[in-house]
Amino acid sequence: MPSPTRARIAALLALPLPELIFQAQTVHRQHFDPTQVQISTLLSIKTGGCPEDCGYCPQSAGFDAGVPASKLMDIAPVLEAAQRAKDAGAQRFCMGAAWRSPKDHDLDRVAAMVEGVKALGMETCVTLGMLRPDQAARLKSAGLDYYNHNLDTSPEFYGSIITTRTYQDRLDTLAAVRDAGINVCCGGIIGMGEDLDDRAGLLATLADLDPPPESVPINALVAVKGTKLGESAPIDPIDFVRTIAAARISMPKSWVRLSAGREALSDEAQALCFLAGANSIFYGDTLLTTANPAAARDNALFDRLGMTKLS
C-alpha cells in the first residue's frame, strides 16, 4: 500500500492541468509573494573525478563525458565569484564539490569559504556528498545556512540510477544536517526514465521529512553524452510543470527551485512553472558543468512577467 502522502501526490499529478495549477497557485499565495523569485548562484569548487556512479552525472570518474578532474579551488577566487554573484543580484551562493564525502582537511577549507561568503552578506549553501554528524557540526560553526543533498528519485527507482551509495545513506546525511541545525536543500531529477508513481514517491519522501526541506530543487535531466543516461529523451515540459505544482502543494512553505535543465525550457514553460509555484532559480551561465540560461535572458523574462528578485 502506498503511503497516504504518496497516494495524495499521485492524485495531484493526475489532475487536469488547469485545476492542478489553480490549487498550486492558491497554496503558493498563502505563503509567498507570487511575484518574487529567490536567486541563487552555484559554483563548482571541485570538479570531476567523483567515485560515485550516478547515471546522470558527467563528473563521475566512471564515465567519459569530457569533464576533467580538478583540485579544490583556492579561497580567493571563490570569494571573487561570490562577490560577482552578489553584484548580479544573487541572494544565496552555493558551492559544490564532486566528492563521495569530504576529507576533514578539505572541509576546513570549505568552512573558510563559507565564512568568507557570509562576510559578504550572502546566504551560503554547499553540496559535498555524504556527511558525518561531526562534519555537519563543523559547517554549522562556520555559519553555513543550507546543505544540499538530493534524493534524486523514489526509493524504488533509485537503484536503477545509482549503486555506489544507498538511499538510506542519503537520508542519514540529511538527518546529520538537520541535527546540526542547518537548513536542508533537497530535491530530485525528473526525466531519468521514472514513471509517475516514482515522481510521487520522490515528492512524498521529501514531504514526509520532519520538517520538509526548506529548499526543494527540481531538476530536469540534462542528458550528457558519455553518461549512462546520455541518450535519454527530453522530458515533456508539461510533465515538469505538473511536478513543480505537486511539489508546491505538498511542501507549501518550501522554496521550490527551477534547477538543472532550465536552459532547455522555453520562456512560456518557465512562466507556467512560476504559476505552478516555483519561486527560486539558479542564476548564472553554468550549473556545475552544464549550461544555464544567461542572466540577461532571465532578467528579460522577469521584466515580461512583472516579477522581481527577492532582495
Q: What is the set of active-site residues?
A: 50, 54, 57, 94, 125, 185, 257
- What's the grid cell of residue 51? 567515485
Which pairs with CB-CB distance under 8 Å and at least 24 residues apart come from 286-289? 286/44, 287/42, 287/259, 287/260, 288/42, 288/44, 288/47, 288/59, 288/96, 289/44, 289/47, 289/48, 289/58, 289/59, 289/67, 289/224
Q: How many helices (H) and strands (E) does the chain have?
A: 10, 12
Q: What phi, psi does 201 have (nearest 5°)? A: -65, -40
Q: What angle do CA 110, 100, 63 make, to 5 degrees?
A: 120
Instruction: For residue 69, give Cα distances in angstroms to 46, 111, 130, 222, 251.
Output: 8, 22, 19, 20, 36
Q: Which residue has the cell 567523483?
A: 50
Residues recorded for the chain = 311
* SS3 call for 256: strand
- What residues have CB less than 8 Å from 35, skipping those under 6 apart? 306, 307, 308
Question: Taking Cα atoms as reference points, which of 200, 135, 202 lies closest to residue 171?
Answer: 202
- Identify whether the C-beta of residue 142 lies closer than 8 Å to the C-beta of residue 111: yes
* Cis peptide upstream of residue 102 (ω within 30 degrees of 0): no
* SS3 call for 50: strand
